[in-house]
Amino acid sequence: MKSRLQRVGLGLAALAVLAGIFAYSLWNRRTLYTTTWFDLFDTVSVVKGYARSQAEWDEQMDALHAELLHYHQLFDIYHHYDGMVNLCDVNAQAAAAPVAVDEDLFDFFNWYTQQVQTDGAVNIAAGAVLSLWHDARESDTPAPPADALIQDALTHCNAADLQLDPNAHTVFFADPDLQLDVGAVAKGYSVELAASAAEARGLDSALLNIGGNLRAIGEKANGEGAWTVGVENPWNDDPAYIQTLALPNGCNLIVSGDYQRYFEYEGVRYSHLIDLTTGYPAQYVSSVAVLTTDQGGGIGDAFSTALFCLPEADGRRLLETQPGLEALWMYPDGTTTQTNGWPGQPTE
């Protein structure tokens, strides 16, 4: 009888353990949420991720949006914002006298000058020529700028004329016609900082898609594995994505292509990605995708632009200076090439 009671007791105990495990799993199971914003970096931003409640998710998204909006305003070269000295203010004032900037903007300049090495394919001091193409693209009747204007603008893109004083935190333009444009790096840099801050606040399962800059935070919840992302088809036909890949925690997938910001003139497509050796839009590829290692969003953004604006052979040599990056080149004839470690798989 005692043995029977022991067996019954053990059975009840096992059921209690199983019930506890089930209750714990149910309590910790999280729901997938999605948030969309239209006021960041002149693009559409979508964040999806897991939380235990709508309130928890909304709190995280409010903080993430505030971070991203701060960087959007900081790097805006077209508008001034009260309460900060941003790039618009620097462009307007730095040729006359050194401009004092806050630590976050000076940190960006330090990061760029110390870590972004692209042999001139990306140059934040090239605003003089980039602004010509921006104005042409935004015109009611888009047409390429006059070649004489382009050639003159290229003489005002010397990065050495951007003078930084680390003690006073000031920025000065030695060339009065120099202008800054950080569009090739600012979004990736901003997304990386904002994602890291979100992780510090406890966000541990999300996928950020900020205008095509993808950054993984953790994995999907509930044991569903890594985030799966796609490389967009640049040729305007089916399928929508030509490859898919798993995006590990902390890594970024960043794509630069000629199929979003462009205009056509006399049958020729002119994209926003400028070859700074010629002053004209680069025409080597349709698109380039770059996969970064952990926390490499700013570098990945710079290299996706640089690889788009270089012949592939030059781009491969440049990649050798930056271990950990993998790349996929997509050409106008529908062919692709890739680095040896590129993990993408063709969509079915």
Residue 17 has pLDDT above 50, yes or no: no
> Average pLDDT in the 92-111 region?
98
User: Cα Rg for the chain, rounded, in angstroms?
Assistant: 24
> Average pLDDT in the 26-50 region?
92
Confidence tier at 253 by pLDDT (50, 70, 90): very high
> Average pLDDT in the 124-146 region?
97
Confidence tier at 80 by pLDDT (50, 70, 90): very high
pLDDT computed for residue 96 by the predictor: 98
pLDDT computed for residue 20 by the predictor: 44
Q: Which of 15-24, 78-87, 121-130 has the lowest mean pLDDT?
A: 15-24
Give the global pTM: 0.91
Q: pLDDT tens, 198-232?
A: 999 999 999 999 999 999 999 999 999 999 999 99
pLDDT computed for residue 333 by the predictor: 96
> Average pLDDT in the 73-78 region?
98
| Beta carbons of 279 and 153 less than 8 angstroms apart | yes
* Dist CA 247 CA 20 (whole Å): 33
Q: pLDDT tens, 280-337?
A: 999 999 999 999 988 899 999 999 999 999 999 999 999 999 989 999 999 999 999 9
pLDDT computed for residue 25 by the predictor: 45
Q: What is the DSSP string of 105-139?
A: HHHHHHHHHHH---TTSS-TTBHHHHHHHHHHHHS
Tokens standing for residue 294 = 């952990």
**CB-based burial label for 198 (10 Å; 0-12, 13-18, 19+):** buried
Largest CA distance in the chain: 103
Residue 107 has pLDDT above 50, yes or no: yes
Q: Which one-letter amino acid corresponds to residue 347?
A: T
At 70, is the secondary structure helix, strand, or coil? helix
pLDDT computed for residue 27 by the predictor: 54
| Beta carbons of 216 and 324 less than 8 angstroms apart | no
pLDDT computed for residue 19 by the predictor: 45
> Average pLDDT in the 263-273 region?
95
Helix axes 54-74, 186-200, angle to 10 degrees: 150
Confidence tier at 238 by pLDDT (50, 70, 90): confident
> Average pLDDT in the 46-68 region?
98
Residue 153 has pLDDT above 80, yes or no: yes
**CB-based burial label for 252 (10 Å; 0-12, 13-18, 19+):** buried
Percent of the chain, pLDDT > 90?
88
Residue 123 has pLDDT above 50, yes or no: yes
pLDDT computed for residue 7 by the predictor: 63
CA angle in degrees (0–180, nearest 5) for 313-184-157: 85
Confidence tier at 26 by pLDDT (50, 70, 90): very low
